[in-house]
Structure 1
């Protein structure tokens, strides 16, 4: 594969809000602006194993224990000219974000891909929104699916994402020119969402208000995105949807977002035809340029 990636550096303004006054009518949030240089690198086998494995564990959440994450990390690092990591203190540090694509057909005999395939197929059977997706992974379907895996630390701004998708498109194009097996028919993006759920903390001591009950009821069906870019990408999808994890979580109270509500993380998948993937990435760039 031809090598093209030069180091890219982008300065992103990250806001850190200070504590505000308890008087909402008169308080104003103090905001500090932190300048950070984000650097994009190729995956580095000698430096990135532990950082990528940690991000994969975060991506798969409580179901991460269902997979051999070491084998998955090794597979990602075995294609160092495809995909990107984002760092802030040089190449030898742990990545704060990553994006890559794996050829599910090319690696179909590898145990980790077989694990992922069975997992995805089982989730598709449980979700009406994803039922169509499962047919693309099951023989005799001849679709060549590229599994897109991407995750970042929670405080990393979304603006680091469009450059990674742009570089991925370029790398795939060059790989195809070199006759490498990245000529996909579809891209399957694996991600995460969450729903707001009622907290059970002190529920015996504190009666639920009408506002609490209404919020809990609304939160049970409304989907929120850990990755804002997913809302843009799924507009171009053949199929997309969220699904519940197979393992039991520690409970919503450990992941409180508001005083009255906790969150329930879920998995999310987006299937995009290869012919529409470039347009989806362009829409993603336009979205963040307008933000």
Structure 2
């Protein structure tokens, strides 16, 4: 029996995460996004157009709350760059809470990431060529076979085993101690545009594929991967039309004293983690700690989920991730 069957009452909800993301992306655009019409206006406009713009700006200066309304968009380039020494403090801040507030040698883990320049990327933003890049997150994979040499990996493995269901602890321990198990580290700010998930996943596994062709880099020839992902449990009461079971029961009144039906959804801030979850061999969750909740999830319970992914399923995962983001881009375009 796996630690947690995926056929359970809690269901992934990418739509909920996507909706939250739309709120977060109002002030930032990726380099592929069209520029704001206001930002594109030039000084060559006619006087009448300038007057119209002035009127519009006067109307937009304050919103219904009486506050200034600033919807100016900034074009930001998102890049995948090789980890560098100057990224140390940012990466450390993103990985400090990886063990839910428990102390572990996070500095040693960051040093490992920085020295491993052939596999793994730092997600960085840049407003212009003259500006310095701003690290927003990291995605890489570390061989757990190196736990004999590095204390940080021993501490991470011990933390995961401690959180595993007791009856399944041996199964989890065996996976973590297997010689060809890679630990996928995927941590980034919540307000990073979600559509980087597709190319980010492809880039990582392409790098792994290229690395194993080198006889000196066989450490990346993995049979399986462990991913510890951030997620949230969102519990709410749906409208009567949903709770009542569809159109036939839309007008069905709740009986006196009958409790409202609550629904719990599993939401992944990094939407691609939903695909990893669906394709995983087994998974289990625990309540997370050690970090502040993003504002978009302030009413949700923060969780961590550990998953085991068979290396044979990586191709399917990459394809499904691409399809998911393509579908979301079509939905956003229609909206």
**TM-score (normalised: structure 1):** 0.72
Pick one of 16, 19, 31 that aligns with 1:11.
Answer: 31
Instruction: Indicate the residue corresponding to 2:199 in structure 1.
Output: 163
Aligned length: 246
Instruction: Indicate the residue corresponding to 1:203 in structure 2.
Output: none
- More helix by percentage: 2
Q: Runs of at least 4 residues of structure 1 off by over 6 A?
A: 18-22
In structure 2, stretches of 5+ residues that fail to align are: 1-29, 37-59, 237-255, 329-335
Aligned CA distance change for structure 1 residues 132 and 104 (closer, same or farther; 3 Å): same
Q: Does 2:195 correspond to 1:175? A: no
What's the CA shift for 1:98?
1.4
Instruction: Indicate the residue corresponding to 1:79 in structure 2.
Output: 116
Residue pairs, 1:8-157, within 5 angstroms? 11-13=31-33, 34-44=74-84, 46-57=85-96, 60=98, 63-89=100-126, 92-125=132-165, 132-138=171-177, 142-157=178-193
- Identify the structure with bigger relative contact order (alpha carbons < 8 Å, sequence gap 6+): 2
- Are the equivalent residues in 1 in contact too, given 2:144–2:179 (CA < 8 A)? no
Pick one of 216, 228, 232 that aligns with 1:190.
Answer: 228
In structure 1, stretches of 5+ residues that fail to align are: 1-9, 23-29, 199-209
What's the CA shift for 1:263?
2.2
CA distance in 2, matches of 1:154, 1:274: 27
Indicate the RMSD between aligned Cα atoms, in angstroms: 3.6
Larger radius of gyration: 2
What's the CA shift for 1:244?
2.0
- Residues 129-156 of structure 1 show CA distances to partners (whole Å, capped at 9, x for unaligned) of x874443124xxx451100001111211
SS at the partner of 2:187? strand
- Are the equivalent residues in 2 in contact too, given 1:42–1:85 (CA < 8 A)? yes
- Are the equivalent residues in 2 in contact too, given 1:132–1:239 (CA < 8 A)? no
- More strand by percentage: 1
Aligned CA distance change for structure 1 residues 267 and 109 (closer, same or farther; 3 Å): same
- Are the equivalent residues in 1 in contact too, given 2:123–2:138 (CA < 8 A)? yes
Instruction: Indicate the residue corresponding to 1:233 in structure 2.
Output: 276
Q: Does 2:265 correspond to 1:222? A: yes
